Homo-oligomer: A and B are copies of this chain.
Amino acid sequence: MVNSNTGVNLPALRSHNAALVLNLLRTAGEDGVSRLDLAERTGLTPQAVSKITGRLRAEGLAVDAGRRASTGGKPRTVLRLLPGAAHAVGLHLDRDELTAVLVDLSGTVIEANVVPLDLGAGAEVVMEVVTGEVAALATDTVLGVGVAMPGPLDHAAGVPHRVTRFPEWDGFPLRDALAARLRLPVVLDKDTNAAALGLALRGAGADSFAYLHLGTGLGAGLVLGGALYRGARTGAGEFGHQTIQLDGPVCGCGGRGCLEALCLAAVARGDLAGAARVLGAGAANLVSLLDIDRVLLGGRIVTGAAEPFVRGVRAVLEERARRGGEPVVPVALAQDSAHPVAEGAAQLVLAPVFGR
C-alpha cells in the first residue's frame, strides 16, 4: 500500500490481498505453497489466508496439490495456481513480422504464430492482420491482448509516437481502435518494456534490473523495485541516445556521441569487444545512477555473439565496483524464451492480475 494517490476501500483491499496471494502462487509454480507460508510472506494471519485461498479455489484459480512432510504435527496442505483458468494474448508488432502468442496464467506459451507484416502498410491493413491472428488464438478465457511495438509511444494513452522509419503511426489511437475491434481490453507498450516485464515475471533473480536490447537500435527496459518503470510520460528507457562521448561522432538522431551510434559503429567494423566496452560504460552509468541489482543483455546482435558482449560489459562493471569498493553487479544474457517480446506483451495483461 505504498505510494498510492487514491483512497482505498474494502473491495480494493480485498483484491489487493488476493492479487498478492495469486502472485505468490504463481512464483511457486508447480511446487505450490502452503497456507502458512503464504501467511508468513504476506504478513496476514493464517485465517485470512484460508479465507482468501478459499475464494480463489471457489473461482477456480487455485487447487490443492498434495501436502508437505510433517514436522511433528498435521502436515501442511500445498496450494497451486491453476494456470488454465485464464489466458492472455501477446502480440509483437515488429517492422517486418507479427508474432502472436497465447499464454496461460503461469506464463506458459500455449500457441505461437509468426506471420509476415509490413508495419508501414498502414493502420487498416495492420489491424486486419492482427484481428485475424487474435481470432485464431482467442478462447473465452482470454483476459485481454497485450501489444508491444517499437517506441517511442504513450503507454497511458495507448498511442504510438514517431516510430523510427514509420512516422505514419504517430498519433494513431491504436489501443482503442484494437479494443473496439477485438472487443477485448488492450494494453500497448514498447517492445523493450514488454521484454523487461517478461523477464521480471519469469523471475529475473532481481528486484531491480535493466534489460539492454541491442538489435537494429539500442534500447532499455527498466524494472525498478519489482515494477516496470515507465516514467512520467511513459517514455522512460531511451537508452540508445545517451551521450557517452561529448562532441563524439554524429548520430542519426542529430546528437553527438550517442551510445547507440558508437556501439553500432563498433559492431559494423567487427570490433565486438569495443562495442561491448561502450555498452558496458552505459550499463555502468545506469548501475551507478539507479543502484540496480542486475544487468541483462538481449537483442539480435548480442545473442549472435553473446560471450564477448557479456564478458566486455562485465569487465567494465567489475572495474567500476572495484574502484568504489562495492559489490559487483552481475551481468547475464537475458534467458531466452522463443518469443520474448510477444510473451512479455501477454504479461502486460496478466501482470495486473498479480498486482504487478
Chain A residues proximal to chain B, CB less than 8 Å: 1-10, 12-13, 16-17, 20, 42-44, 48, 152, 162, 206-208, 220, 222, 224-227, 229-239, 241-246, 248, 253-255, 262, 278, 281, 284-286, 288-293, 320, 323-327, 355-356
Contact = CB atoms under 8 A, between A and B. Distances in A.
Secondary structure at the A interface, as helix, strand, loop or mixed, is loop
Which one of A2, A245, A356 has the greatest number of beta carbons of chain B within 10 Å?
A2
30 contacts: A1-B4, A1-B6, A1-B13, A2-B2, A3-B3, A4-B16, A5-B226, A6-B43, A7-B17, A8-B8, A10-B13, A220-B289, A224-B224, A229-B290, A231-B292, A232-B291, A232-B293, A233-B327, A235-B291, A236-B289, A237-B289, A237-B291, A238-B288, A242-B289, A243-B244, A243-B285, A245-B245, A246-B262, A246-B281, A289-B289
Which 8 A/B pairs are nearest by Cβ-Cβ distance?
A231-B291, A7-B42, A7-B44, A238-B288, A236-B291, A235-B291, A254-B323, A6-B43
Contacts of A285: 242-243, 285
B1 A8 contact: yes
Nearest to A21: B7
| Oligomer copy total | 2
A232 B255 contact: no
Given A284-B243, A285-B243, A290 B231 contact: yes
B323 A255 contact: yes
A313 to B, nearest CB: 13
A230 B278 CA distance: 26
Contact of A1 (B16, B231, B288): B16
A244 B284 CA distance: 11
Contacts of A254: 323
A290 B16 CA distance: 27
A291 to B, nearest CB: 3
A193 to B, nearest CB: 12
B2 A4 contact: yes
A271 to B, nearest CB: 13
B4 A246 contact: no
